[in-house]
Structure 1
Amino acid sequence: MKTTDHILIIDLEATCWDDRPPRGQESEIIEIGVCLMNAGNGRILRSEGILVKPQFSAVSPFCTELTSITPQMLDDEGILLEDALDILRAEYDSENLTWASYGNYDLNMLRDQARKFRVDYPLGDDHINVKTLFGDLHPAVRKSVGMARALGELNLKLEGTHHRGVDDARNITKILYWCLQQYKT
């Protein structure tokens, strides 16, 4: 892992359906939740949710219910994936930081979407899987658990809207900071 004072936490939201996607549609990123964390004290230095307009799918009612992201929000505020990835590079120095996500879904989805849209992958190779790290470090947890349960195990409150990228990234930051503290004790 890169030696760094800052870690970038990413949480993605993507188009989803109650069952299978409609014909011709596939899951794609609709929000990149990002937090820049001071690794020494756990403080969030900056965070935002970058809304992304899907190109090959539509936001289903199920997806809106889960994430609170509406098609209108994406029409009004969403940008192309390429532009969203440029924000990560330009405003967060994403290629030069260690980054983290809760599980490998975000890592794989970002790689797949960058390849599909033929844009440069915006992150460095140093990735922390917070879900696995938490499972390894927490004495009461013997397997991987969801983010909400991990917060509960730490007696931390889930803040914001679960399944909103920016809010989940902030919550993941709390879990990651706890994990980093375990290495100091």
Structure 2
Amino acid sequence: MISLDHVLVVDVESTCWEGSPPPGEVSEIIEIGICPVEVSSGVRGERRSVLVRPTRSSVSPFCTQLTTLTAADVVGGVSFAEACAVLRKEFRSDRRVWASYGDYDRKMFERQCKDLGVGYPFGPRHVNVKTLFALVHALPREVGMAEAVRLAGKKIDGTHHRGHDDAYNIAGLFADLIRK
């Protein structure tokens, strides 16, 4: 049974390169940012970051420039399977609605779970905040997260492209949307 008390807002950061990945490497999750939103009040919970140790890629200088995460930061992270277990155990992710800004995060989890044979950590309900924001604000197209924060009359709290900070900002957008 799906619990509707909180929505888990999730934002992932992944290994990335300025161009194509180097031969033999694939983009994989290196940080899972989480920020629960209490549905009844719209109050955001604490932001959390789970660093994930990559096994099929390395952190490029471009990735570090974008996310501030270095190879040294993520080498001490947990395995992807352990990160998924944290989501299930500490956040009950398999029994709650979860949300992300766009479909990238959902698709990354689906692909990486399939590739590594790890159980999908979420239940069947996902909210795409990017689409919801555009619909509620009657925008002609979807906009990026930073633009949505600006349109909502807010400023980005923390570092853009860090999972825990982006999850917190997306949670703020989502909380505003569910209060409307």
* AA at the equivalent of 1:50: V
Distance in 2 of aligned mates of 1:160 and 1:133: 23
1:35 corresponding residue in structure 2: 35
4+ residue segments displaced more than 4 Å = none
- Other-structure match for 2:133: 134
Amino acid across the alignment from 1:35: C
| C-alpha separation in 1, matches of 2:19 and 2:44 | 36
Scaled by the length of structure 1, the TM-score of the pair is 0.94
Structure 2 spans left out of the alignment, 5+ residues: none
- Pick from 164, 167, 174 the counterpart of residue 169 of structure 1: 167
Deviation at 1:41, TM superposition (A): 2.2
Contact persistence 1:37–1:46 (CA under 8 A): no
The equivalent of 1:122 in structure 2 is 121
Partners of 1:45 and 1:165 lie apart in 2 by 15
Question: Deviations 1:100-133 (Å, cap 9, x if unpaired)?
Answer: 0000011111011011110100001110000000
Q: Deviations over 1:126-169 (max 9, x none)?
A: 10000000010003x21100000001001011111100000000
Residue deviations 1:50-71 (CA, integer Å, cap 9, x gap): 0001101000000000000000
Q: CA deviation at 1:40?
A: 2.2
Percent identity over paired residues: 43
Structure 1 counterpart of 2:177:
179
SS at match of 1:40: coil
CA distance in 2, matches of 1:173, 1:25: 32
Query: Gapped runs of 5+ residues in structure 1?
Result: none
The two structures, once aligned, show a CA RMSD in angstroms of 1.0
What TM-score, normalized by structure 2, do the two folds share?
A: 0.96
Deviation at 1:177, TM superposition (A): 1.0
**Within 5 A, what are the aligned runs for 1:37-52?**
37-52=37-52
Whether the aligned pair in 1 keeps the contact of 2:12 and 2:32 (CA below 8 Å) is: yes
Count of matched residue positions in the alignment of Structure 1 and Structure 2: 179
**1:16, CA displacement in angstroms?**
0.1
- What amino acid sits opposite 1:114 in the alignment? C
Quickly say closer, same or farther: Cα 1:107–1:149, change in 2 above 3 A: same
1:54 counterpart residue number:
54
Q: Distance in 1 between matches of 2:172 and 2:64?
A: 26
Is contact 1:16–1:27 with CA below 8 Å preserved after alignment?
yes
Amino acid at match of 1:163: H
1:3 is displaced (CA, Å) by 5.9
3-state SS in 1 of match to 2:118: coil
Q: SS at the partner of 1:100? A: strand
Aligned-partner SS, 1:4: strand
- Answering whether residue 13 of structure 2 is matched by residue 13 of structure 1, we say yes
SS in 1 for 2:4: coil
